[in-house]
Amino acid sequence: MLFLLSLFLLFSLPHVTFSAHCTTSTPTKTFQKCITLPTQQASIAWTFHHHNTTLDLVFFGTFISPSGWVGWGINPTSPEMTGTNALVAFPDPSTGQVVLLPYLLDPTVKFQRRPLLSRPLDIRLLSSSATLYGGKLATVHNGAAVQIFATLKLASNKTKLHHVWNRGLYVQGYSPTIHPTTANDLSSVMTFDVMSGSTAARHTNIGTLRSVHGIINAVSWGIMLPIGAVIARYLRHIQALGPTWFYVHAGTQLFAFFLGTVGFAIGIRLGDLSPGVQYGLHRKLGFAAFCLGALQTLALLFRPKTTNKFRKYWKSYHHFVGYGCVVLGVVNCFQGFDVMGEGRSYAKLAYCLGLSTLIGVCIALEVNSWVVFCRKSKEEKLRREGLIGGSDKGSAIFS
């Protein structure tokens, strides 16, 4: 079941690919190079003029709402939203025609402390314009394509640029509102050299790392840890197994924690590769689950013998921390699907089916345990009353 679930997750989760389906031509201009951006079906075409270090480019984007906005910009210092010099296209509230205004994205934009107001950019913008696919008479609608043209004056040694783009649902007056916060929307950043066309390697790998992170953690924290807890709760009562249940339980949990540690480390690396992108709740739940898992692993080193008077306290601690780790791990898996924008994906469906199967097995085993317990209690009561002999053991497989 784990193998099939892993394969399904592998082929269901999104992968970032750099397709060759970009164009260097527009109805009014032809450019030398183009590149497909990793999110939002966006692309950029450009021509870099060596003799005067000017850059002509066009950004191809799409609206997600008739009253929405599409923006592209350059961050002079780092690959993140904060500090970006942006050009934002949206329908004019009075005429309905597309307008293009400049905005500086300072740190207050992230917290929406005040409306975003248009102001001059810090970069040398020589000219800019925006047109809808279909010409000046075209209207904005959901899925409409927009082209943002810009001509920039670059420093002679500054040809590697941090490009930032995004799109939102609506505009208040002339102030674009916050964009959606799915993984794709928060990862709309790319660095490439306009002279050579080479991209920064970390952006080409981040999508693959995100998928691997999701698969490993769904299998380890979301499936294997609960399976280990089920083994400890139900198999230890089967006398025929002897101490085998303990070794299976410990082996399953140790392997799950080791695998989960790898996924946790990949998550930390993803955070380093995504400056300005924050998933507060997902991150906190991940750290909490990892700490509880580490405490559980260390607890094996201090496991008292069955005759030790502190054994009962150790068991209470082990149960409390163990079940807490399982709950946090499963909850954070669902949080991770939402973070990746896979809340309605087949990958999440596969995980839910696997988890539901495990829950169904738990319910069946729990019912069986109570049936056996009630039967044993009844037999013990009859034995005390002398209605059955002490040698009758019953046919139960549970003690």
Checking if the pLDDT of 16 tops 50, the result is: no
pLDDT of 205-241, one tens digit each? 677 888 899 999 999 999 999 999 999 888 887 878 8
Q: What is the pTM of this model?
A: 0.57
Q: Is 30 left (phi over 0), alpha (psi -120 to 50) or beta?
A: beta
Classify strands 171-172 and 54-62 as parallel, antiparallel or unpaired.
unpaired
Burial of 221 (0-12, 13-18, 19+ CB in 10 A): buried
* CATH number of this structure's domain 206-378: 1.20.120.1770
Supply angle C-alpha 136, 142, 143, rounded to 5.
Answer: 80
> What is the residue type of 364?
A
What number is the average pLDDT over the span 239-260?
Answer: 89
Checking if the pLDDT of 3 tops 70, the result is: no
CA 190 from chain center: how many Å?
Answer: 18
Q: Which residues are annotated as a binding site for heme b?
A: 213, 249, 282, 318
1.10.132, 2.60.40, 3.40.1800, 3.30.70: which CATH number matches 25-193? 2.60.40
User: Who wins on pLDDT, 207 or 338?
Assistant: 338
Checking if the pLDDT of 398 tops 60, the result is: no
Burial of 397 (0-12, 13-18, 19+ CB in 10 A): exposed
Question: How do the domains of the chain map onto residue ranges?
Answer: 25-193, 206-378
Q: Which residues are annotated as a binding site?
A: 213, 249, 282, 318
- Dihedral in degrees, nearest 10, Cα atoms 223, 228, 230, 235: 150
Distance (Å, rounded) from C-alpha 69 to C-alpha 170? 6
